[in-house]
Structures are given as structure tokens and as C-alpha cells.
Amino acid sequence: MYYSIPKIEYYRPKTLSEALEILAKVEDSKVIAGGTDLLVDMKTSRVRARVLVDINSVAELRGIEDGGEFIRIGAATKLQEILESRIVSEHLPLLKAAVKSMGSWQIRNLATVGGNLCTASPAADTAPPLLAYDAELVIAGLSGLRVVPISKFFTGYRKTTVNRGEILKEVLIRKSGWTGWSYEKLGRRGGFTLSVVAAAVLARVSSSVVEDVRIALNSVAPTPIRAYRAEELLRGRRIGKELVEEAARVVASEVSPIDDVRSTSWYRREMSYRLALETLSRALGVE
């Protein structure tokens, strides 16, 4: 109570347009979804906001739908809903695996996928799977909607392409025939932990040849990243132990980790190799 966040004004709009109008009109206003990042940041004054616009009651921003070609996940959808969704289970097992590793049940019942992406922490755990799925992000502003591929979404350390006054509306993921996937997250303790490194891999293998592969990692660069060079190396090649090892080494050379209180650059690079090796082997079906 006493070391809570500063006094704030609070709005809880019912529609997206209402929310956008308040954001445009009221100075110093900021979107709040689950608040699991924002309130922590406000407590420590990393973020200062006077007005909060709560988007949890905006129906357009919530829910998971199977739209045939695309799966649509509303930005304000709770992580726990994603974890429990049959659609996600069936079509997006990689996303499910990542979400399962996030926070605790209590946190997942507050936290949203949109909040995770918009905070744009290098350690964001929904980012590697969504990068691997090549998700498209729909951003709403007063002037309408724009669609940004996730590869263009993170613009720097804790920065995104979402402008002031805009709201991330939803995440679109194209259904695609992947033959294998794998996700690994390493934290400083066994569970309920932020990542030191996480790796996500999607693969399509046909007659032992890599048709397509996507590799994404977090906590090894200023933003979550794709390992494009390693993907390039793998595409069209016949799967094998040496190939996977070589690709994992390329992954380790593509990352640019730093030393911080959570880990060291050396260890993160070593683990980028390790996790890439693990996830690639599993997704490609290599012993």
C-alpha cells in the first residue's frame, strides 16, 4: 500500500475507438493491460505515467480465433487463456510451450501477449515463437489500422514501432505445415524465471531435406532476434548431426549478448550454441 505506484487517473474504455480517443486527448496517458510490467516499472520510476487507460474491457482486443488461413490472437488476451486454448494447442504448439514457461499461474492470469510484445524486453518470452511463426502485428491508431511483420516490430532495446497514441490490436499467425518444433528456455532457477537464453525452432523436413526452418532467440541481443544466417545455411540441406552442429555454431556467432546481473556474455553465447543444438536436433529429428 505505502510503496505503491503514484496517484493516477484511470480510464476503462469499452471500445477500441474510445480507448484511442482517450489516448489522443489526454496528455501523459499510457495503456495498461495486465500491468505486470507497467506497474513494476512505475514503482521504480522507470516509467512515469499520470493517466492509465485500461484495455481489459475492450472486447475487440481479446480472444483467440481460428480464421481459416490465420489464427488471430487479441493483444489483450491473457497468457493463461493462450495456454488453455485448444486452437493454440492444435496449431501453435511452439507458442504454447513458450507461454507455459512464463511467470506463474497468478502472473499469467493478468499478463497479456500484447503487453509482453510492447514492453519489448530482450527477454520477452512470446517473442521467439512469434518471430519463428513470422507473425503479423496489427496496430490501431485514430487514422486506422496498419500491419507490421514482427521482424520489423522491435526497433531497439525496449523500443517498438508502436507510436504514442497507438494500440497493438492483435497478432495474426499464418497456418503452415511445420513438421517439427522445439522450445528451450534457460533461467537462473528451475521455474518461474526470466530467461538467460531461450530458443525457438520451427522446421519443415521432407525426405530428410530441410525445406524451411526458423530459429529465434531471446536475451542474447538488444531485442529478441531471428538467426537468419543459420536458417540460410540449413535450408535445402540434408539433415545430419554435423550440419546441426555447424548451424548451432552459426547461431552462436549471430548473437550479441552482454554481461548483466542475470548472466554473462560468455555463458549466453555458450548456451545459444547449446540450446540451438538441442532445439534444432529435436525439430529436425536428428539424433
Applying CB under 6 A, which residues contact ligand FAD?
Answer: 30-38, 40, 55, 75-76, 102-103, 107, 110-112, 114-116, 118-119, 123-125, 162, 167-168, 194
Q: Which is nearer to ligand FAD, 180 or 224 (CB)?
A: 224
Q: Which is nearer to ligand FAD, 33 or 200 (CB)?
A: 33
**Among another protein, ligand FAD, none, what binds residue 75 when CB lies within 5 to 8 Å by partner kind?**
ligand FAD
Q: Which is nearer to ligand FAD, 55 or 277 (CB)?
A: 55
**Among another protein, ligand FAD, none, what binds residue 10 when CB lies within 5 to 8 Å by partner kind?**
none
Cα gap 58→47, rounded to integer Å: 24
**Among ligand FAD, another protein, none, what binds residue 2 when CB lies within 5 to 8 Å by partner kind?**
another protein
Evaluate whether 165 touches 24 at the Cβ level (below 8 Å).
yes
Evaluate whether 267 touches 187 at the Cβ level (below 8 Å).
no
Burial tier of 11 (Cβ tally within 10 Å: 0-12, 13-18, 19+): middle
Evaluate whether 198 touches 275 at the Cβ level (below 8 Å).
yes
* Helix, strand, or coil (residue 97): helix
Q: How far is the CB of 264 from another protein (least distance, A)?
A: 6
Q: How far is the CB of 207 from ligand FAD (least distance, A)?
A: 37
**Among another protein, ligand FAD, none, what binds residue 270 when CB lies within 5 to 8 Å by partner kind?**
another protein
The per-type count for the chain, helices as H runs and strands as E runs, is 11, 14
**Among ligand FAD, another protein, none, what binds residue 105 when CB lies within 5 to 8 Å by partner kind?**
none
Q: Which of 200, 199, 195 is nearest to 102 (CA)?
A: 195
Site residues (CB under 8 A) for another protein? 1-4, 6-7, 40, 44, 186, 188-194, 196, 261-264, 266-267, 270-271, 274, 278
* Helix, strand, or coil (residue 158): coil
**Among another protein, ligand FAD, none, what binds residue 38 when CB lies within 5 to 8 Å by partner kind?**
ligand FAD
User: Which residues are paired to 141 by β-bridges?
Assistant: 144
Cα gap 207→225, rounded to integer Å: 29
**Among another protein, ligand FAD, none, what binds residue 135 when CB lies within 5 to 8 Å by partner kind?**
none
Q: How far is the CB of 190 from another protein (least distance, A)?
A: 4
Q: How far is the CB of 59 from ligand FAD (least distance, A)?
A: 13
**Structure-block grid coordinates of residue 219:** 536475451
Q: How far is the CB of 91 from another protein (least distance, A)?
A: 29
Q: Phi, psi at residue 180, to the nearest 5°?
A: -155, 155
Q: How far is the CB of 65 from another protein (least distance, A)?
A: 33
Q: Which of 125, 149, 129 is nearest to 137 (CA)?
A: 149
Cα gap 123→235, rounded to integer Å: 27
**Among another protein, ligand FAD, none, what binds residue 168 when CB lies within 5 to 8 Å by partner kind?**
ligand FAD
Q: Please name the amino acid found at residue 261.
A: V
Q: How far is the CB of 95 from ligand FAD (least distance, A)?
A: 12
Q: How far is the CB of 45 from another protein (least distance, A)?
A: 8
137-164 per-residue burial string, b: 16 or more CB within 10 A, e: under 16: bbbbbeeeeeebebeebbeeebebebee
